[in-house]
Structure formats: C-alpha cells, structure tokens
Amino acid sequence: MQQTTFNRISVIGLGYIGLPTAAVIASRGIEVVGVDVSEHAVNTINQGKIHIVEPDLDMLVQSAVTTGKLRATTEAEPADAFIIAVPTPFKDGFKPDLSYIEAAVKKVAAVLQKGNLVILESTSPVGTTEKISRWMSEVREDLNFPHQGGDEADILIAHCPERVLPGYVIQELVANDRVIGGITPKCAARAQDLYKIFVKADCLITDARTAEMAKLTENSFRDVNIAFANELSIICDRLGINVWELIKLANRHPRVNILNPGAGVGGHCVAVDPWFIVDSAPEQARLIRTAREVNDSKPEFVLNKVRKVAAEFKQPKIACLGLAFKADIDDLRESPAVAITQKIIEEEIGEIMVVEPHIKSLPAKLNQAHVKLTGLAEGLEAANIIVTLTDHSVFKQVKLTTLNEKVIIDARGIWEKE
Ligand code: SAJ
C-alpha cells in the first residue's frame, strides 16, 4: 500500500546541496539521516557545525542537530525516502563521471524496503535516473523496480534536479519552483508529496528524462548567454569599442538583455553541465559546444592582456583582484580567476599581490615567494598593474579616480561601468 507520510528521510551527500536540503527538511520536524563518505563532514555536522560556507546554514544545522531531527553517518540506514545529492563532475574528454552516483545508489540499494522512494537530485545526463533503477535491481533481485514493474513497482524513483544559487541556497530551496520527473507517474506523484513538505513554490511534474534535460538546459542557457557577452567583449577589444557602454546601450532595447562578460565561467555547474548535452548529442549540440569553448578561451584572452601590458614595465607589480569563481563568495572551485593568477605566477610575469577578502591564506598552488595575499588598499597602492578577476562588491567601492597612473585590466567591468 502507498504511504502518505514520510517519517524518516535520508539524504546521501552532505555538500552544498545535500546539507541545506537535509537541514530544511529537519526544520519541518521530520527525522533526517544524512549520509556522507567524509568522516570529517559527518563529525562536524554531528557537533551542530558546518564544513561549507553558505549564509544561514550554520544556524539551521545547529538547531536541527540540537533538536535531534538531523544526524549524520557514513553508512546508509533504512528510511522512507532517499535523496541522492552527490557530485557529477566530468572526466577526460568532457565525459560525465557517474561513479559517485553509482556508489551512492549501491549503498542505498542495500537498505531499501518495499514502498521506498528514491530521488536523484544531482545534475545528470539524460537517462541516468533509469540507470539508477537498473543498478538497484542488480543489487536487489528480491524487489521490483520501475523499469521492470512500471507503476506497480515496489520502489519509486524520480529525478528532481537542484537549481539553487550558491549564496542564496536556503531561500531558493523554499522559494524556487521544482521540476519533478518520475520514471512513472506514480513515482513523480510520490516525489511531489516529499517536496511539498518544504517547497512553497510550484512542484511541476514530468518524466525523468525531461527533468534531466531541463536542468542541463537551464545551465546551458546561462552558459550560451555568457558566451555571447564574452565573445562581444573580444570583438569590441579588436574594434576599439567599450563593451560595457555597448551592452548598456543595447540593453535599453526592450527585448535585449545581454549578460556580463568576465574572466571566464567557473564553478561546478554552468561550466560543466553543457558538456553532458554535448556528450549525449555531439553532432546536434553545436551552439552549446561552441559556447563552452568561447567561455573557456576567455582566461587566455585576459592573460594575453596581462602579458602585453607587463612587457612595458621594467618591474611589473601586479595586483590580481579576486580569486573566487564569482562575486561575494569564498568558493575557489574551478575558478578562472585562480587559473589566470596561477599562470601569471608560473610565468613569473612580475611581483604579485593577490587581493581576495574572502580567504585567510593562499591555496598551496599560488603560495610562492613572489606572491603575497594582501588587503585591498595595500594591493592597489603597491601595484602598477591592476587586474580585476572577480567582481566582489568591496572592489566596486574603489573610485577609479584614486587609481591614476596605474594600468587597469578590468576583466569584470568593475570600473569600466562607471
Ligand atoms: N558569469 C559571468 N557573467 C554573468 C553571469 C555569470 O561571467 O553575467 C560567471 C560567474 O562569474 C561564474 C559563472 O558565470 O564564474 C557561473 O555563475 P552563475 O552565477 O551564473 O551560476 P552558478 O554556477 O553559481 O549557479 C548556477 C545557477 N544556474 C542558473 O542560473 C541557470 C543555479 O541556479 C544552479 O542551481 C547552479 O548553477 C547549479 O547548481 O547547477
């Protein structure tokens, strides 16, 4: 018989998506068991603390752990529903790496009971949710899965991609619409019951393949639009036009809304997910592939500017402003700003001041004798070349007029926009 309530929900993967989701569900009074392979993460969470940076998450986790509604462990335990939120990076040749999902699925399969719901939240190539059904059936021949039994299956499986913006996760988890794709309609309906526990917006039902493609489409849409802005910036550089002024003017058209050029596209999402579409339909995904290539070429374009300008100085002193992959966060993962700074360091283009107000020490690969992590004022003062790589709010407060006599390579348009 179909259950109507969830007494215990397990979240597999306690990272940027899994931990906030676990804490929000626990805050609704449901028992949540979080599972992670990292003992450090598990121990930190069980002390009511967090191992990642996300506004308001610390308070939420602390209260969920204190009230006994959330606990973490390294081994899967039985539950009514399982939410899988593990990473899906790509491997060589931009091929999706599903090994984290497969490992999580096999762990969950071992503790499954009739009537359980399994939800995949990780961004995944089309067909992954059906793969999960097959992987689970290999481990549990005693149970019937949706790819075998359809709506009569013992286990229900759905894909509900996360789509929250880092830095706003807690509010977007509750406020964003959700796309819920079931392998069967019954799978989708059951997953919808779960999301209604904490989502205030619409929970839109579809099939699993469409839900998988919807998530990849959202991030590819963003990537293609950023690529358009980045390509414009390269064209304008060649034609001697200020791209920021150009975009401001073009955006005054009622149906034009161009995004911001930058130092490249970073993070684990927008720079990765479009490759999953390219991998599934290499012949057809021409625009999506080209957009990836345009965005990935932008760091080299910025570097070339630095090399050219530095060659004109006897003693180049370069202030690199920002390491994070985007504004006002401390996340350096897959950051074009880090890649550019690292190249400047490796090529020993000059003395280097790194200004990144969100970190306390330099990552090992940037920590060299001719490199210093400095405060903003100190870095600006000492430099003869300033390169803006991340558009942190604090950088925007600096007045361009105070930087007279310095050469500025403003990859993020912080001051160009003035
Ligand atoms: N960027 C630009 N110019 C812009 C906007 C962004 O260069 O105009 C750069 C950023 O600096 C950054 C990269 O793009 O390096 C990605 O930043 P982002 O803010 O576009 O996206 P993410 O990776 O933080 O989060 C995205 C979001 N997806 C969309 O907005 C369609 C988020 O909703 C997803 O949940 C997230 O990916 C994810 O986890 O997939």
DSSP string, 125-143: -TTHHHHHHHHHHHH-TTS
Q: E-strand spans in 126-209?
A: 156-159, 178-182, 203-207
> Which residues does residue 213 pair with via DSSP β-bridges, in sequence order?
none
List the one residue out of 143, 79, 149, 71 whose CA is nearest residue 108: 79
Task: Please check whether residue 145 lies inside any domain of the structure.
Answer: yes
Residues 144 and 284 in one domain: no
User: Token digits for 92?
Assistant: 């060589």
Ligand 1 nearest-atom number relative to CA 219: 31
The residue contributing the CA closest to ligand 1 atom 25 is 165
Query: Tokens 């034609």 sit at which residue?
Result: 239
Domain-ending residue, one of 186, 201, 216: 201
Domain-ending residue, one of 142, 170, 201: 201
Ligand 1 nearest-atom number relative to CA 267: 23
Residues 344 and 284 in one domain: yes
Q: How far is the CA of 102 from the centre of ligand 1 (A)?
A: 26
| Packing angle, helices 286-310 and 336-346, rounded to 10 | 40
Q: How far is the CA of 247 from the centre of ligand 1 (A)?
A: 19
Instruction: For residue 329, give its domain range.
Output: 243-410
Beta carbons of 98 and 88 less than 8 angstroms apart? yes
Q: Which mutation among 121, 270, 296 tests ligand 1's pocket best, with the greatest number of atoms within 8 A of CB?
A: 270
Q: Is the CB of 267 under 6 A from ligand 1?
A: yes
Residues 273 and 185 in one domain: no
Taking the model in full, what pTM does it have? 0.95
The pLDDT, as a whole number, for residue 416 is 74
Task: Please check whether residue 365 lies inside any domain of the structure.
Answer: yes
User: Token digits for 336?
Assistant: 């074009």
Q: How many CA atoms lie within 13 A of 81 on its CB side?
A: 29
CA-to-CA distance for 179 and 177, rounded, in angstroms? Answer: 7
> Which residues does residue 297 pair with via DSSP β-bridges, in sequence order?
none
Residues 165 and 289 in one domain: no
The values of phi and psi at residue 325, to 5°, are: -75, -15
Task: Please check whether residue 221 lies inside any domain of the structure.
Answer: no
The residue contributing the CA closest to ligand 1 atom 9 is 265
Task: Please check whether residue 234 lies inside any domain of the structure.
Answer: no
Residues 35 and 172 in one domain: yes
R_g over Cα of the chain: 24
Residues 116 and 254 in one domain: no
| CATH number reported for the structural domain that contains residue 42 in this entry | 3.40.50.720
Of the candidates 69, 107, 187, 215, the residue annotated as catalytic is: 215
Residues 145 and 20 in one domain: yes
Q: Is the CB of 296 under 6 A from ligand 1?
A: no
The residue contributing the CA closest to ligand 1 atom 1 is 265
The residue contributing the CA closest to ligand 1 atom 27 is 165
Residues 176 and 272 in one domain: no
Residue 18, SS3 per DSSP: helix
Task: Please check whether residue 3 lies inside any domain of the structure.
Answer: no
Residues 71 and 175 in one domain: yes
Q: Is the CB of 274 under 6 A from ligand 1?
A: no
User: Token digits for 42?
Assistant: 């598990």
Beta carbons of 220 and 136 less than 8 angstroms apart? no
Q: How far is the CA of 126 from the centre of ligand 1 (A)?
A: 21
User: Is residue 314 annotated as a catalytic residue, yes or no?
Assistant: no
Neighbours of 297 (CB within 10 A): 14
| Packing angle, helices 208-239 and 128-139, rounded to 10 | 140
User: Token digits for 206?
Assistant: 């579809």
Q: How many CA atoms lie within 13 A of 92 on its CB side?
A: 0
Q: Is the CB of 219 under 6 A from ligand 1?
A: yes
Of the candidates 269, 298, 320, 326, the residue annotated as catalytic is: 269
Q: Is the CB of 270 under 6 A from ligand 1?
A: yes
Beta carbons of 213 and 263 less than 8 angstroms apart? no
The residue contributing the CA closest to ligand 1 atom 34 is 163
Q: Is the CB of 165 under 6 A from ligand 1?
A: yes
The tens place of each residue's pLDDT in the chain, 418 residues long, gives 444 589 999 999 999 999 999 999 999 999 999 999 999 999 999 999 999 888 899 999 999 999 999 999 999 999 999 999 999 999 888 999 999 999 999 999 999 999 999 999 999 999 999 999 999 999 999 999 999 999 999 999 999 999 999 889 999 999 999 999 999 999 999 999 999 999 999 999 999 999 999 999 999 999 999 999 999 999 999 999 999 999 999 999 999 999 999 999 999 899 999 999 999 999 999 999 999 999 999 999 999 999 999 999 999 999 999 999 999 888 998 999 999 999 999 999 999 999 999 999 999 999 988 899 999 999 999 999 999 999 999 999 998 888 888 999 999 999 875 5
Task: Please check whether residue 219 lies inside any domain of the structure.
Answer: no
User: Is residue 187 annotated as a catalytic residue, yes or no?
Assistant: no
Task: Please check whether residue 381 lies inside any domain of the structure.
Answer: yes
Q: Is the CB of 262 under 6 A from ligand 1?
A: yes
Cα 299 to the chain's mean position, in Å?
A: 19
Tell me the percentage of the chain whose pLDDT exceeds 70: 99
Q: How far is the CA of 166 from the centre of ligand 1 (A)?
A: 9
Query: Tokens 């191992």 sit at which residue?
Result: 51
Domain count, the chain: 2
Q: How far is the CA of 110 from the centre of ligand 1 (A)?
A: 36
Q: Which mutation among 164, 301, 326, 332 tests ligand 1's pocket best, with the greatest number of atoms within 8 A of CB?
A: 326
List the one residue out of 27, 39, 18 whose CA is nearest residue 69: 27
CA-to-CA distance for 137 and 290, rounded, in angstroms? Answer: 39
Sign of CA dihedral 277, 282, 284, 286: positive
Residues 300 and 352 in one domain: yes
Task: Please check whether residue 61 lies inside any domain of the structure.
Answer: yes
Cα angle 151, 155, 156 (rounded to 5 degrees) comes to 60
Q: How far is the CA of 270 from the centre of ligand 1 (A)?
A: 6
Residues 178 and 301 in one domain: no
Domain-ending residue, one of 201, 224, 259: 201
Cα 251 to the chain's mean position, in Å?
A: 27
Residue 372, SS3 per DSSP: strand
User: Token digits for 208?
Assistant: 């699993």
CA-to-CA distance for 211 and 312, rounded, in angstroms? Answer: 53
Beta carbons of 147 and 95 less than 8 angstroms apart? no
Q: Is the CB of 381 under 6 A from ligand 1?
A: no
Residues 250 and 119 in one domain: no
CA-to-CA distance for 226 and 2, rounded, in angstroms? Answer: 45
70-73 and 81-84 strand pairing: unpaired
